[in-house]
Amino acid sequence: SAVISQKPSRDICQRGTSLTIQCQVDSQVTMMFWYRQQPGQSLTLIATANQGSEATYESGFVIDKFPISRPNLTFSTLTVSNMSPEDSSIYLCSVSTGATDTQYFGPGTRLTVL
């Protein structure tokens, strides 16, 4: 499976600021996804990052709050904008090679908003 890295691994941010999370894969992948895992909860899909076009957002998530970029087949960013304490969560990048629908997860970014 692909090796996935995320930066930063954790951060503590102030309310009203923005944080950009990077996801880097060591090989080209077809699909990249962003998930959120709130404390004690399961994973919720935020959006599918599409290479060269706008991301596809799930219900309840909007581009103004979670802008996503995917400039190539190995890299994507998720920005959490105008943060509030409710955004405190683990943000996870996942990838699929496209040969199957199997997804592999990066190590995650633990975000705390004060």
- What residue ranges bind another protein (CB under 8 A)? 1, 33, 41-45, 48, 58, 90, 92, 100-108
Alpha-carbon span 79 to 69, nearest angstrom: 9
| Cβ-based nearer residue to another protein, 73 or 90 | 90
HSE-up of 2 (CA within 13 Å, CB side)? 28
| Cβ-based nearer residue to another protein, 14 or 100 | 100
Whether the CB-CB separation of 110 and 10 falls below 8 Å is answered with yes
Phi/psi at 85 (nearest 5 deg)? -55, -30
| Cβ-based nearer residue to another protein, 22 or 48 | 48
- Rounded to a whole number of angstroms, the minimum distance from the CB of residue 70 to another protein is 17
89: β partners: 111
- Rounded to a whole number of angstroms, the minimum distance from the CB of residue 49 to another protein is 13
- Rounded to a whole number of angstroms, the minimum distance from the CB of residue 82 to another protein is 26
